[in-house]
Structure 1
Amino acid sequence: MDGEDLGESAVLDVLDKQIIHGLVTDARIPFARLGAILGVSEQTVARRYRSLRERGMLHVAGQVNTVPLGRTRWILRMRTAPNRAVALAEALARQPDVSWVSLLATGFEVTCVCRPRSVERQDELLLRMIPRATQVLELTVHEVMRQFPFAEEWPRYSRLLTAGQLRELGPRPPMWEPRGPEKSVQLSREDEAMLAILGRDGRASYAQIATATGWSSSRVARRMSELIASGVLYFDLDFALERMGYVSRALLWMRVRPGDLEAVGRAVATHPEVAFVAATTGTVNLVAAVVCHDTAHLYRYVTESLGALPGINDVQVLSALRMFKQSSTLLDDRKVGVVP
């Protein structure tokens, strides 16, 4: 066993990790199929999944990619007074189209990702609500130009499956390119009802969604497949990182020479510590979220893995003092929980 896996072995065994990899690859894979691939029963997979959820180890959620809807994503950095930072972060975490809310170790900077679904909501968030908040002393807004895809999503447990199992599981659907489709996707009221349910539980049954939308289960399945194919709907997993042994999380803001930006972004996306990397507008043009076991691990990553890449002119390392929200779930006592 790799020494860096020891911290998480107390809460996740090999089968847990194999199931997690299956869900990362296909969040809605039937438990019977996943069990057959892993050589265990459907009941065993279902029981392990329920345990992971009940222990607050993971949460599966359907997410809306705003690019095919003709919108974009924004990363916000807000400077605030130290005694107001927690209140600001908590208020942002309650917004449904705001994610990855964190308080950085400086003690007075809060960052988040905004994914407004309309021009009106974008203006409300970026031009009125957040700038007018009394806690916000300074606001910097970065547009996400390109999110770099991973060959394997974090936490990267494919090494625990055989080549045959990986072939049976199949590849994760490719990340939707930021250019978007030829024509913006339009969502109906029924689509919105389905997306709301999947946002709370990415594995909600077709029957449950059918009841909320008035559609048949077969129509729900067909429409879900269409939204996935269009890039509007994708599935994400949130994890209780500290309980898995990852206590050092950081945002890295980099200045990269424009001609090297694509190559550096692709290279950073291959690093096992990296959970997100994107090219942005603004005074820095590359941002990465990294997950490490401890500060020494973070130091090794910055000086060795990142330091070996040509083209990076400057790196600002900002450790996360506290995470308030991940992609769709609020954090409480190091567990993940569904947003009300």
Structure 2
Amino acid sequence: MQTLDDADLDLVAALQLTPRAPLNAVAEVLGTSASTAGRRIQRLQDSRLLRFISTVHWSLILTANPYVVWIKCEPGMTSSVAAAIQQVPEAQSILITSGDADIHCTIYPLAGTDLRRLLTRTLPAIPGIASIESHLVLRTARQAVAWHLDRLTDEQTAALRGHVDADPSSPPETVGPLGEAEFNALRLLFDDGRITAAQAARELDVSRSTAYRLIQSVLEAGAARPRVEIEPAVLGFPLTALITLDVQPQHIPAVLAALGAHPSGRFTVMTAGPASITHHAVFRDEDHLSRFVTEDIGELPGINGLNMSTALAVLRRQWIDRDNDVLLGDRVHAVLPPRP
């Protein structure tokens, strides 16, 4: 795997905070030139390590809340089962895991999904699956778009804040319906979070000013949140832990808020299942994870117990398949619904 130097990591950290910021503004904050920053970005993109995408508000693509799904496989069948799940459009992420289950995936009910059939017939019918547990997401405290490297100084962060489109940790509860033109702009942002007004104008066959207005409308509504897609392992966080916690009901809001604000978190939700809360998090090493469990989780109120698995392989995140865990492949499924 290609190693990122400090300048690469600083650049990624800045772009995680401000994915659409002009390169000259980012370069000035980092003390480099726009041309150098551009070359570094291009190298990471050419190496399939980095991509600019957008997270689309759930209300625009889903017919129901997601499910977290744990799958146990018959001996020797894990790889073939995981490959079969990759053919399922609703599987937003797929991890091969240690622990009680062999595979963990998140299922997002897209437009046209027969959710009951998917969970009770389609997935269980995959050869090699021994059992499935599916837990409905009730409330979300954190999504992967909010995870970022903590490398910038306070002064650098403040200088970049003016280029932030929206706080990735605070998406709106709902987004109003989009018109056809706005939805077409959303499609472009979904695949390229840094698309310019000039590029969008060519794709949409509209004027540059109209394209700019459409992009800003989509961003300001919270319909799309631009982000840097890059595997945490590339950034020095190779250990992904999937932690489920049994929490006393009256303490769920406090624990959910605390874990949702923790810098380790990439997906923190309240679920309907044996566990009250699911927390996906990334760590530098085993000691980093152990300290998180004993110190950070250990001081939280109302926790009766926890279960923990770790990712052995990453096959998909954000509907983007991975090669060798870290190389970004294709989105093989149509995620956005047909044009209105």
Q: Same fold (TM over 0.5)?
A: yes
Equivalent in the alignment of 1:13: 5
Deviation at 1:218, TM superposition (A): 2.8
Q: In the TM superposition, what whole-angstrom CA distance separates every residue of 1:265-304 from its partner, at most 9, and x where no partner exists? A: 1212343332221112222110111212222332222122
Between stretches 70-79 and 280-289, larger displacement belongs to 70-79
Equivalent in the alignment of 2:57: 65
Is 1:137 the counterpart of 2:137? The answer is no
Between stretches 26-35 and 195-204, larger displacement belongs to 195-204
Distance (whole Å) between structure 2 residues aligned to residue 228 and residue 124 of structure 1: 35
Change (3 A) 1:142 1:177: farther
- Three-state SS of the structure 1 residue aligned to 2:275 is coil
Is 1:44 the counterpart of 2:53? The answer is no
Q: In the TM superposition, what whole-angstrom CA distance separates every residue of 1:218-246 from its partner, at most 9, and x where no partner exists? A: 33332222223333212233323334333
- Three-state SS of the structure 2 residue aligned to 1:148 is strand
- Three-state SS of the structure 2 residue aligned to 1:323 is strand
Equivalent in the alignment of 1:5: none
Distance (whole Å) between structure 2 residues aligned to residue 84 and residue 210 of structure 1: 48
Between stretches 75-84 and 309-318, larger displacement belongs to 75-84
Between stretches 276-285 and 128-137, larger displacement belongs to 128-137
Please point out which of 167, 170, 174 is paired with 1:180.
174
Please point out which of 213, 217, 232 is paired with 2:208.
217
- The 5-angstrom pairing of residues 163-178 of structure 1 reads 163=155, 165-170=156-161, 173-174=166-167, 175-176=169-170
Change (3 A) 1:125 1:34: farther
Distance (whole Å) between structure 2 residues aligned to residue 93 and residue 187 of structure 1: 32
Deviation at 1:86, TM superposition (A): 1.6
Change (3 A) 1:28 1:178: closer
Contact 1:97 1:116 in 2 (8 A): yes
**Number of residue equivalences:** 326
Q: In the TM superposition, what whole-angstrom CA distance separates every residue of 1:79-137 from its partner, at most 9, and x where no partner exists? A: 22242222222333354542221011148521112223325454564455324333433
Change (3 A) 1:112 1:217: farther
Distance (whole Å) between structure 2 residues aligned to residue 307 and residue 42 of structure 1: 45
Is 1:101 the counterpart of 2:89? The answer is no
Please point out which of 63, 70, 73 is paired with 1:77.
70
When normalised by structure 1's length, the TM-score is: 0.83
Equivalent in the alignment of 1:112: 105
Please point out which of 142, 147, 152 is paired with 2:140.
147
Distance (whole Å) between structure 2 residues aligned to residue 200 and residue 96 of structure 1: 16
When normalised by structure 2's length, the TM-score is: 0.83
Distance (whole Å) between structure 1 residues aligned to residue 252 and residue 6 of structure 2: 37
Between stretches 22-31 and 204-213, larger displacement belongs to 204-213
5+ unaligned residues in a row in structure 1: which ranges? 1-7
Between stretches 273-282 and 122-131, larger displacement belongs to 122-131
Contact 2:84 2:126 in 1 (8 A): no
Deviation at 1:37, TM superposition (A): 2.7
User: Which stretches of structure 1, 4 residues or longer, exceed 6 Å deviation after superposition?
Assistant: none
5+ unaligned residues in a row in structure 2: which ranges? 332-340
Distance (whole Å) between structure 2 residues aligned to residue 23 and residue 319 of structure 1: 28
Equivalent in the alignment of 2:337: none
Deviation at 1:185, TM superposition (A): 2.2
Deviation at 1:206, TM superposition (A): 3.2
Q: Which amino acid aligns with 1:24?
A: Q
Q: In the TM superposition, what whole-angstrom CA distance separates every residue of 1:133-184 from its partner, at most 9, and x where no partner exists? A: 334332222222222249x943332x43342x22221157234557425xx5
- State the Cα RMSD in Å: 2.9
Q: In the TM superposition, what whole-angstrom CA distance separates every residue of 1:304-336 from its partner, at most 9, and x where no partner exists? A: 221121211110001111111122432212423
- Three-state SS of the structure 1 residue aligned to 2:123 is helix
Is 1:29 the counterpart of 2:34? The answer is no
Distance (whole Å) between structure 1 residues aligned to residue 134 and residue 172 of structure 2: 18
Distance (whole Å) between structure 2 residues aligned to residue 142 and residue 274 of structure 1: 19
Q: Which amino acid aligns with 2:82?
A: A
Q: In the TM superposition, what whole-angstrom CA distance separates every residue of 1:167-222 from its partner, at most 9, and x where no partner exists? A: 221157234557425xx52463x555544443433223333333333333333332
- Three-state SS of the structure 2 residue aligned to 1:132 is coil
Please point out which of 44, 65, 88 is paired with 2:81.
88
Percent identity between matched residues is: 23
Change (3 A) 1:97 1:233: farther
